[in-house]
Every structure is written in C-alpha cells, then in structure tokens.
Amino acid sequence: MIFWIIAGWVGFVLCPWYGVEDGFFSFEWLVDGYPFEEDYSPAAFLIGQGEKLWLAPLLIPLLLPLLALGREKSDPTYFRILTVAGALGFGWLIIQGFSIGIRGFNFQWMNAAFGALGDRQFGMGYGAMICASAFLFLFTQGIAARGAVNGDVFVVGAIGGVVTIVTAFVFFPIANMLFSAFVTDEGAYSLSAFVGKFFDDRLWGLGCFFGARCGAALNSLVLAIAVGFITTVLGLAFALVVTRSGFRWKRILRALTVLPIITPPFVIGLALILLFGLSGSVTVFFADLFGTQPTRWLYGMPGVLIAQTLAFTPIAFLVLIGVVEGVSPSMEEAAQTLRANRWQTFRTVSLPLMRPGLANAFLLGFIESMADFGNPLVLGGNFDVLSTEIFFAIVGAQYDQGRAAVLAMVLLFFTLSAFFAQRAWLGKKSYTTVSGKGDAGVHPLMPMGLAIPAMIVAISWAIFTATVYGMIVYGSVVELWGVNNSLTFKHYVTAFSIRIEEEGIRWTGAAWDSFWTTITIAAIAAPLTGAVGLVTAYLLTRQSFAGKSAFEFGTMLSFAIPGTVIGVSYILAFNVPPIEITGTGIILVVSFIFRNMPVGVRAGIASMSQLDKSLDESSLTLGANSWHTFRRVILPLLRPAILAALVYSFVRAMTAISAVIFLVSAEYDMATSYIIGRVENNDYGLAIAYSTTLIFVMLSAVALMQLIVGRTQIGRRMTQSRTNV
Amino acid sequence: MKRITATIAGSLIALAATASFADKLTYYCSAQEDWCQLMARSFEDATGIDVNMTRKSSGETFAQIRAESSNPKGDVWWGGTGDPHLQAAEEGLTMEYISPMRDQLHDWAISQAESAGNKTIGIYSGALGYGFNTDLLAANNLPEPSCWKDLLKPEYKGHVQMANPNSSGTAYTTLASMVQIFGEDDGFEFMKGLHANINQYTKSGSAPIKAAGRGENTIGIVFMHDAVKQAVSGFPIMVVAPCEGTGYEIGSMSIIEGARNLEEAKMFYDWALSVEAQNLALQVNAFQVPSNMGAETSESAPDMSQIKLIDYDFKKYGSSDERKRLLQKWDEEVSTLPQ
C-alpha cells in the first residue's frame, strides 16, 4: 500500500503530467525547461503556477490514504479510506480527461454551464499514468481489505488491472466507433441514419442471382462458411494422416503446415496470380494445350477461397492434431474389444470425441476468413467482402465513417454469432478422455476407406502448397515476372544492401527502416502479450469471482473483432486526449497486445487446466501468498505455454496487416505496410523478395524458440511415452 | 530553495540550447513510394531538416488528416490528385499560404491554388487516357482503340478495367471528365455502356494499367503518365490519348492547418516548387508535367501540347456536394446494372 501511495505522489509531483511530444522514450524533457515549462511540468508545479486548476481536486485522494497508514487491515475505516480515495482519484482523472480536450471543453453543455474554458490539455503522460495506476491499486487494495476474493491483494489487483486495460483498449475504442454508426452527416445522433446504412443494397443485395452483384455481407458470410468447412475437412485429413497412418513423410507434412502461418499477407495471393492469373504459367499452359482462351476465373470468389484455404488450413490442422492425439486410445481399444471394426470405431467413438476440435477449427477458419484483408484485396475482383469494404469506406473518396461502423457491426455480429453457435453446439458435454490414470495403448490406424482419400487429399494439398512456395522463392529472384525471367539478386540488393563506411555500417537498403521497426515492435509486444495473457488465464482458471464469465468474454472479444475494425477504432479513439498515442510506436504495440492476447489466454488456460490444483493448494498451505504461488509454482510449469504465446505474438506482429495499415506513421512504418506499397506499385520482385526474407527470419525465430520449448518438453514426454508404449 | 531550482533549471535550459536540436518536418506523401523517398532525402540534404515521411494514397491521407484534425500530426501534404486537396481546403483542414515561388509556375498550378483560396497549389499535372497490353490485344485479335467511344464496342467485353470511382480519385476524374465531355446524360450513358465491358472495378486508381502490364487485363483506364511508366518499365503497354479530348488532374500540395512545424513546412513548400526539386521526378520515372515552367520534362512523357485537353472545372467537380451527387448517381444507375 505504501508503495502505491508513494507512486501516486511521484506521479503527481515529479513526472511530467502530459505526454511528451518527442516520444515516450526520449528524455529530452529533462534538460528542456523541466519542471517549469508547461509542456513537461508535473501536475503539482502546474497547479503551483496557477494553471490547469482542474487537476487540483486530485490532491484530496492523494492525501486521504495517508490517514490509513498505521491502521489495522481489519479496521473498517481502512478499507473505506482506500476505496473512497482510489475511486475518487481514478474517477476524477477520467472525468477531467474526457471533458477537457485540445480545444477546451469537449461537450457543448459544459461550455453553456461553465462558460468557455480558455485553456486546453493534451494526452496523458508518465505522471498521469502513474497516478492513475496508483489510484486503481489503492482502490483494489481497499476492496481486498474488505474481503473480496478472500482478501487476496494480488488477485484483486490483477483483476482490476486486466479489467482496466481491456476496457481502455478494447471496449472503449470499439464502443466509440460503433456509436458513429448512429451519427448523421451533420453530426447529430439518429436511429434512421443507422437504419438507412444498415439496409443498404450494397450490403444485402441479392443481385448475383440476376447477373449483377451480391451485397458484401452475403459474400462474406458464404465465403467464411465455405472456408471454415473446407479448412476443417482438410485439417482433419492432415491430422489423421499424421497420427493414424503409416505415412512415411509425416515430418515434411508438419513442416509444410507451419509455412502459411509465417507468411506475410499478399504473398499467397501474388503467387496464385502468377500461377493461375490471366497470364499465369498454369493458365497459359492449359490454354495452349487445349487451344482455349485464358479467362480471369481466378479473380473473385474462387481466388479468395483458394488463397484463404491455403492460408488457414494449417490453423485448423494445429487445432485438430491436439484433439486427434488427445482422444484416448483406451476408448478406441474398448470399442474394438467389443468387436467394432475400424470404420465403426472411427465413426462412433473417435469422431464424436473430436467434436470440440472440429467446432474450434471451423470457428477459427470462419473468423479468420471474415477478418482476412490481404487476399480479398489482391484477388477479390468484383467480389466485395466486409473487411475490404470497411477499409474503403474509411479511406475511399467517399469517406463515410458511419458506413464503416455499420459494416463493422455486421461483421462483429457474424463472428460473435459463430462464437456462440459453437458453444451451444458443444454444450456442456464432457469430452475428457485423458484421466491421467493407466492411459496406455496406441491409436488404431484409420479404416482403409478413409485412409486412402485422406492420404490423397493431404498429399495433393501438400504438393500444391509446396508449389506455391516454390513460386514465391522463384519470383523473388527473377528480373520482371512474366516479362523478363532472367535470374537476378537485384531485388534483394535494393531491399537489403548495406555499405560499410568509417563510422560503421550504413543500412542503405530501402527495406531496412521498416524491417528494424517491425522486429523491435514485435519483440516488445511479444513478452507483454504473453504476460497479460497468462495473468488473465491464471485468473480465469484458478480464481472465482463475481462477473467471471463476462470477464472471460471481454478478454476473448478482441479475437472476434477483425483487424480493420480495430485499426479504425484505434485511430478514432486514441488521437485525442486523454489517451493520445496515434503516430507513436506505442499504439502498434498496444494493438498487437490486445489482438493477440486471446491466444495467450487460451494457451495459458489449456496448460493450466492440466496442472492439478493441489499444487497451488499445497503452496498456499505452506504459507505462500497467491503472488508467490503464481511466480514460483505455476509460471515455471507453464514454460511451454509461455513460449507458444511468445512465438505466436511475435509472428503475428510481423505478419499482421489489417489493423496495422491504419496505425503506421512516418517514423514507425511496418514491413507489411511497406510491402503493400510495393505491391501497389507493381514492384512484385521487391515485395516478394522482402516477404521471402521475412519468412526466413521468422522461420529461424520460430526454430530457435522451438529448440528451447522442445528441450523443456522432452524430459516429460520421454517418461510419458515410455509408460504409453 | 526556489531560487536554486530556478538557477539549475536556467543552466539546464542554456545547456539544452547549446545542444542544438535538429529541426524536423512530418511529411505526408501521396505520390509513388520512390518519388516520396527521393523528395524526403533530397530535402534533408538541401536543408538539414529531419524529415519523417509517410506514404499513403491521397484518399487515405485525406482520411488521416481528417481523423487527426483536432490534433494534427502532419505538417505538409505533397502529391496525389488535386480533388482531396481541394476537399481538405474546403473543410478547413489545410491552411492558406502564398509562396514566393509562384511567379515561376504554370497558370494551371496557380488557378488550382486560387480555386481553393490559396490553401493548395499545383505541383504537377497529368492527362487521363488509357493504355492497353499489345500482346493480349493481338492474342485476342482485337483492333487498337483510339477514342473513348471505341471502348464501348462489344468486342472489348471483359477486357476493360477501371477503378471504382467511390474509392479512387483517378476513376472519379474519369467520371467527371465524361460528364464534361459528353454532357451529364450522355456521359452517364457512356458509363453504362462501359460498365458492360468492364471486367473489374479495382480499388486503386493505377491498378488497371498495372494489371495490364502483368498481362492480367487488356485495357486499363488510367492517367497517361501511369501507363507510360509501365511501358518504360518494360511491360508491353501502348498509351492512348483519346480522340474526343480528355480530362486531367493537378497533383497538389497543401500545408496542414495547425502544423506543428510551420516554418519547416513553408520551407518545404517553397523548395518543392523549385526547379531542382521538380527535376527529381525524372530520376524515378514519374512522367507527370511539372508545375515549374523551368523544370525539365522527360522525352517519354506524354506531350501535353499534343493532347486535346478539356476545360476541366476543378472547382465544381472538386466540391463535396457535386462529388457526392455524381457518385451516388453512378452507384444507383451504373454499378447496379448486370454485366
């Protein structure tokens, strides 16, 4: 408690209250007129100079907790003082932050009530941030002292912290944006503005049945269902071949599935164009062979469907392999003992037990397809989908933010319905088969009738994937694709040349800037994502508190929200005080954390549910508090989950595009948005060369991390497999 | 005590002053990437001012400036078709500035400035036209088109591509030009006829000719300098200046209202209008016509004196209302037709 009281005062008296313009990590302000210069001044100095007097009431909640010093924790006044001080301080910070902005009062009625302010304020800086967290944690300590969650200070604090950041960086921007669906062109609120945009023909039109075009919402829905279905089937075929067949090159199959995950967007689309486009190699070959006229069949739904299937099948595979392996062999053996043949066993025992995996795989394919931005952009032709429509509603010549918000709502509605439908379908049945006791045996092989088609599908798909990637590498080393196919390294040189001079190495290549930014941002975001995700997972699996399911929903929400929506809402919400971070690297890091956090949460939950609760209990019985238990017992056992979350968020931060494209700025340009620029410029060579480099960089990063994970796992797996066999 | 802190602070300020902070400029660029880079680096070399450059299309940049209007981050916006610049001027997102370089500019550059209350200025211009892939045209046994009306012929069905006017300034210029060349009714009849032959409305303005270059499309309606660029890059593209006459764009530059580095923005503005800055275009295969009368034009560039240019009414067709009206009409009457 004393720590947070001190922190509050430090934030108020020592740190610059407002955001420093030169960036979060520049400390120029220390020598530039601090502490009296208005821009860098701490709140206490501002008030002392008679400025920003609306900050003065914060002194009350800062002074209040001093009264609690020396009191017993069980004393009712103790918790009353802390909760009141915390709530007052935090509440006042928020109220003043939202009501006073860059042009004085933000709301008309305040001008009417108090007269024009004649002053303004910028976004929160170190001081305000530290103060806010101090108030927040004083408040949670107060509640804990009152007895919430068994008076556990760490747990209450963690809940408070996660709720606050999720509110600030997920709920607030999304709500802020969705509200604009109800705003008319003149800036008034109106329901009819929403209705008019919602029932637009461009959204729901059925024109494609009459020769014209269908609405974007219908297109998206049909596409997403198709992609979800196909990826699930393909993923299952892959998983079965890998686990239940005598197939020899399983390792290659597994390796192939990693590739699409680490592929920057567009690349698959570009490779498909180079193969199947109007002048693509395959198209031309077959046109010559049969003497037909090549067509543009690729552009539109077929192309997007193929590209998305290529990109998302591995995700379905990764989900399903766990489930397929997880079905306990003893169940299947039991079925066979009861004289079921292989086919019956598979159909009546194995397949039903895989239901959660199938549902999850479908859901992921569905959501990924809905949110996908790069492939429809490159291959969509006249086939409009929601994610690209949102983008062009914002950046297009018509600039219609309300329309973007309506489209975003429809998209959100689809993804959330899928989410709930999946839960309803799975219901509350138990699919647990691994009990930890006497789990011996091996999986039976697939029935022949299934094995042959599964093998054929998996192998031909693998060959297709390999071809596409072969084309990518080839495309990066030819002069000008399709026109001049002589081999050259010039694209790599343009992108990544360096010059060694006296002062050291000069990074002269065009791609270096965005490359280093991307690596830095990804490296900063990854551990933070892991941390937030695991703490949340810990709260969800190990603690029970009021509103837990709402809490779980909130943390998973950002996964169902497509990146374009996040990008737009962030730029609208965080360009103005109180949180003013557009144009900085922070906004990129923040968006990655909250985009990828759900995966960290899921990974954490999955591995934490495997850890017996008795471990925590014995630690608690031995007198450790829950923070110690978390740090000394749970965290070390979670290493695989931590690394999985790290790898995932690192890779996603390097390949994400849909949200990023709105958030990059002059100083912080990301690799993916640079690549789009090249693609737009018909500079395929450079774009593909850059992407290939990124693929290899990520491949080595993943391999490095896998090496570490692999080591930690081997010890446990070895003993396990010995008992199994 | 207070005096001590004051002296310390004072000496710190003095220290800071001697450390000499570099001036900087945040530069939004809507031209092609390499041109943007070259402009930024050359300005840095010429003045020593640090330049932070972001490249986005003119529509995206306009959206960004609008989103940031209550707290501008950018200083100067250079390049991109003139309409969004005019729109930004109309909405008060950019500020008035009269450069001392003005007397060196072509008349069209200045009239662009005057139609926006001097809140923007012309830096280059380019005429609308189309280009076709000679290989594909030959492979499909199609005649070479030379007029706008040629594109309506049924044999070109499925071979023409243009951008969607809702998302692209180039395509909006096409729509507005047709309305001005043929009159509003016949102009829309033209667009309807064209619609039947279009294989795809792309999102970005120059995409049709890039697709044509790669052999993914036959005819692309674009600005002629974009088509020339593809031809010069080695793609089999032939450029056409339509016989009925054509509209044009004026690439513009504006200073953003509330710029944080106003002095540097003005320096950039003046420098960008100079001969040396405009000659940089040649290094990056940008074939637009520069606005400074002394600047050189490339031999490959379309010769503006040979092209029949219409008297494009930027003020009328650049205004938000007219634009909304035309786009809505296009949406309702043209885009919904079966193809």
Residues of chain B positioned with their CB less than 8 A from the CB of A35:
5, 9
Based on the fold, state whether residues A506 and A639 are members of the same structural domain.
yes
Based on the fold, state whether residues A110 and A138 are members of the same structural domain.
yes
Are B234 and A484 an interchain contact pair (Cβ–Cβ within 8 Å)? yes
A481 to chain B, closest Cα gap in Å: 8
What confidence score (pLDDT) does residue A303 get? 92
Does residue A134 register a pLDDT over 80? yes
pLDDT interval class at A304 (50, 70, 90): very high
Q: What is the identity of the amino acid at B91?
A: E
Are A482 and B215 an interchain contact pair (Cβ–Cβ within 8 Å)? yes
Does residue B247 register a pLDDT over 50? yes
Task: Answer whether residue A548 is part of any domain.
Answer: yes
Are A299 and B200 an interchain contact pair (Cβ–Cβ within 8 Å)? yes
| Range A212-220 average pLDDT | 81
**Best residue in A298, A394, A395 for a mutation probing chain B (most B CBs within 10 Å):** A395
A696 to chain B, closest Cα gap in Å: 25
What confidence score (pLDDT) does residue A638 get? 77
Q: Please name every residue paired with B309 in a beta bridge, in sequence order, or none if there are none.
A: B246
Range of the domain at A530: 491-724
| Range B280-287 average pLDDT | 87
Based on the fold, state whether residues A589 and A637 are members of the same structural domain.
yes
pLDDT interval class at B39 (50, 70, 90): very high
A-chain residue closest to B133, CA distance: A279
Choose the closest CB to B172 out of A397, A582, A678: A397
Strands of chain B (E only): list them: 24-29, 50-55, 76-78, 94-95, 121-133, 160-163, 198-202, 219-223, 237-240, 248-256, 289-290
Choose the closest CB to A273 out of B32, B216, B230: B216
Contact A373, A394 (CB under 8 A): no
| Range B149-167 average pLDDT | 90
Does residue B283 register a pLDDT over 80? yes
B71 to chain A, closest Cα gap in Å: 7
Question: Which of A138-142, A608-612, B26-30 shows the lowest per-residue confidence on average (mean pLDDT)?
Answer: A608-612
Based on the fold, state whether residues A369 and A458 are members of the same structural domain.
yes
Cα–Cα distance for residue pair A405/A495, rounded to 1 Å: 37
What confidence score (pLDDT) does residue A33 get? 61
- Measured in degrees and rounded to the nearest 5, phi and psi for residue A247 equal -60, 140
Are B337 and A212 an interchain contact pair (Cβ–Cβ within 8 Å)? yes
Are A677 and B13 an interchain contact pair (Cβ–Cβ within 8 Å)? no
Task: Answer whether residue A168 is part of any domain.
Answer: no
| Range A10-38 average pLDDT | 66
B104 to chain A, closest Cα gap in Å: 31
More confident position, A540 or A251: A540
pLDDT interval class at A186 (50, 70, 90): low
Percent of chain A with pLDDT over 70: 84
Based on the fold, state whether residues A552 and A623 are members of the same structural domain.
yes
Are A381 and B67 an interchain contact pair (Cβ–Cβ within 8 Å)? no
What confidence score (pLDDT) does residue A185 get? 61
Cα–Cα distance for residue pair B213/B235, rounded to 1 Å: 5
**Best residue in A279, A282, A486, A568 for a mutation probing chain B (most B CBs within 10 Å):** A279
pLDDT interval class at B6 (50, 70, 90): very low
User: What tokens were used for A203?
Assistant: 């959204």
Percent of chain B with pLDDT over 70: 94
Which residue is associated with the tokens 């299309």? B57
Candidates A658, A644, A651; CA nearest to A697 is A651
Choose the closest CB to A382 out of B5, B201, B260: B201
A-chain residue closest to B51, CA distance: A666
Q: How many domains does chain A have?
A: 3
Interface of B with A in 312-331 (CB under 8 A): 323-324, 327, 331
Residues of chain A positioned with their CB less than 8 A from the CB of B216:
273, 277-279, 296, 299
Instruction: Identify the domain boundary among A123, A146, A169.
Output: A146
Q: What is the identity of the amino acid at A66?
A: L
Question: Which of A209-218, B28-37, B132-141 shows the lowest per-residue confidence on average (mean pLDDT)?
Answer: A209-218
- Measured in degrees and rounded to the nearest 5, phi and psi for residue B127 equal -95, 150
B-chain residue closest to A122, CA distance: B71
Task: Answer whether residue A154 is part of any domain.
Answer: no
Are A33 and B12 an interchain contact pair (Cβ–Cβ within 8 Å)? yes
Q: Is B298 exposed, middle or buried (0-12, 13-18, 19+ CB in 10 A)?
A: middle
Based on the fold, state whether residues A525 and A471 are members of the same structural domain.
no
Q: Which residues contact A200 (CB under 8 A, 6 or more apart)?
A: A215, A403, A406
Residues of chain B positioned with their CB less than 8 A from the CB of A32:
12-13, 16
The C-alpha angle A450, A451, A453, rounded to 5 degrees, equals: 70
B-chain residue closest to A37, CA distance: B9
What confidence score (pLDDT) does residue B184 get? 93
Contact A110, A99 (CB under 8 A): yes
Based on the fold, state whether residues A649 and A609 are members of the same structural domain.
yes
Are A212 and B55 an interchain contact pair (Cβ–Cβ within 8 Å)? no
B60 touches chain A (CB under 8 A): yes
User: What tokens were used for A388?
Assistant: 């690209």
Mean pLDDT of chain A: 78
Are A397 and B167 an interchain contact pair (Cβ–Cβ within 8 Å)? yes
Task: Answer whether residue A180 is part of any domain.
Answer: no
- Measured in degrees and rounded to the nearest 5, phi and psi for residue B223 equal -70, 140
Q: Is A116 exposed, middle or buried (0-12, 13-18, 19+ CB in 10 A)?
A: exposed
Q: Please name every residue paired with A484 in a beta bridge, in sequence order, or none if there are none.
A: A480
Based on the fold, state whether residues A370 and A496 are members of the same structural domain.
no
Task: Answer whether residue A234 is part of any domain.
Answer: yes
Choose the closest CB to A482 out of B21, B59, B214: B214
Choose the closest CB to A681 out of B13, B32, B83: B32
Candidates A273, A326, A331; CA nearest to A299 is A273
Highest mean pLDDT: which range of A120-134, A327-341, B189-203: B189-203
A508 to chain B, closest Cα gap in Å: 12
Q: Which residues contact B275 (CB under 8 A, 6 or more apart)?
A: B104, B292, B294, B295
Task: Answer whether residue A312 is part of any domain.
Answer: yes
Instruction: Identify the domain boundary among A109, A124, A146.
Output: A146
What confidence score (pLDDT) does residue B278 get? 93
pLDDT interval class at A713 (50, 70, 90): very low
Does residue B8 register a pLDDT over 50? no
A700 to chain B, closest Cα gap in Å: 30
Based on the fold, state whether residues A499 and A533 are members of the same structural domain.
yes
Bond from prior residue into A453 cis (ω within 30 degrees of 0)? no
Contact B75, B48 (CB under 8 A): no
| Range A316-329 average pLDDT | 76
Cα–Cα distance for residue pair A309/A318, rounded to 1 Å: 14
B63 to chain A, closest Cα gap in Å: 6
Cα–Cα distance for residue pair A620/A603, rounded to 1 Å: 24
Does residue A436 register a pLDDT over 60? no
Interface of B with A in 207-246 (CB under 8 A): 207, 210, 213-217, 230, 233-236
pLDDT interval class at B182 (50, 70, 90): very high
Task: Answer whether residue A163 is part of any domain.
Answer: no
Based on the fold, state whether residues A436 and A499 are members of the same structural domain.
no
B-chain residue closest to A377, CA distance: B203
B256 to chain A, closest Cα gap in Å: 15
B-chain residue closest to A480, CA distance: B234
Residues of chain A positioned with their CB less than 8 A from the CB of B33:
677-678, 681
What confidence score (pLDDT) does residue B78 get? 94
User: What tokens were used for A261?
Assistant: 């995950």
Does residue A252 register a pLDDT over 60? yes
CATH number at residue A354: 1.10.3720.10
What confidence score (pLDDT) does residue A719 get? 37
| Range A366-386 average pLDDT | 85
More confident position, B310 or A72: B310
More confident position, B184 or B10: B184
Q: Is A444 exposed, middle or buried (0-12, 13-18, 19+ CB in 10 A)?
A: middle
Instruction: Give the length of chain B.
Output: 339
Based on the fold, state whether residues A320 and A445 are members of the same structural domain.
yes
Candidates B117, B99, B168, B60; CA nearest to B315 is B117
Cα–Cα distance for residue pair B320/B56, rounded to 1 Å: 21
Q: Please name every residue paired with B161 in a beta bridge, in sequence order, or none if there are none.
A: B200, B220
Quote the distance between the C-alpha of residue A14 and its chain's center: 35
B67 touches chain A (CB under 8 A): yes
Residues of chain A positioned with their CB less than 8 A from the CB of B230:
682
Cα–Cα distance for residue pair A93/A88, rounded to 1 Å: 8
pLDDT interval class at A594 (50, 70, 90): confident
Instruction: Give the length of chain A.
Output: 725
Instruction: Identify the domain boundary among A146, A166, A200.
Output: A146
What confidence score (pLDDT) does residue A34 get? 64
pLDDT interval class at A625 (50, 70, 90): confident
Q: CA torsion sign, B216 to B220 to B225 to B228?
A: positive
Are B63 and A399 an interchain contact pair (Cβ–Cβ within 8 Å)? yes
Candidates A381, A380, A401; CA nearest to A391 is A401
Domains annotated for chain B, with CATH where assigned, are: 24-125+250-300 (3.40.190.10), 126-248+319-334 (3.40.190.10)
Question: Which of A104-108, A673-677, B145-149, B331-335 shows the lowest per-residue confidence on average (mean pLDDT)?
Answer: A104-108
Based on the fold, state whether residues A503 and A467 are members of the same structural domain.
no
Does residue A331 register a pLDDT over 80? no
- ipTM value: 0.72
| Range A53-74 average pLDDT | 79
Provide the 3-class DSSP secondary structure of residue B290: strand
What confidence score (pLDDT) does residue A722 get? 34
What confidence score (pLDDT) does residue B11 get? 43
Contact A685, A479 (CB under 8 A): yes
Does residue A537 register a pLDDT over 50? yes
Are A682 and B233 an interchain contact pair (Cβ–Cβ within 8 Å)? yes
Strand B289-290 with B198-202, pairing: unpaired
A698 to chain B, closest Cα gap in Å: 26
What confidence score (pLDDT) does residue A226 get? 95
pLDDT interval class at A715 (50, 70, 90): very low
Are A296 and B204 an interchain contact pair (Cβ–Cβ within 8 Å)? no
Contact A355, A426 (CB under 8 A): yes
What confidence score (pLDDT) does residue B326 get? 92
Q: Say how many CA atoms lie within 13 Å of B4 toward its Cβ.
A: 1
| Range A224-243 average pLDDT | 89
Residues of chain B positioned with their CB less than 8 A from the CB of A296:
158, 199-200, 216-217
DSSP character at residue A170: I
- Measured in degrees and rounded to the nearest 5, phi and psi for residue B255 equal -100, 135
A525 to chain B, closest Cα gap in Å: 23
Choose the closest CB to B70 out of A103, A669, A677: A103
Task: Answer whether residue A160 is part of any domain.
Answer: no
A133 to chain B, closest Cα gap in Å: 26
What confidence score (pLDDT) does residue B2 get? 43
Contact B338, A211 (CB under 8 A): yes
B199-236 tens-digit pLDDT: 888 877 888 998 898 888 999 999 999 899 888 888 89
**B133 sits in which H/E element:** strand B121-133
What confidence score (pLDDT) does residue B13 get? 41
A148 to chain B, closest Cα gap in Å: 42
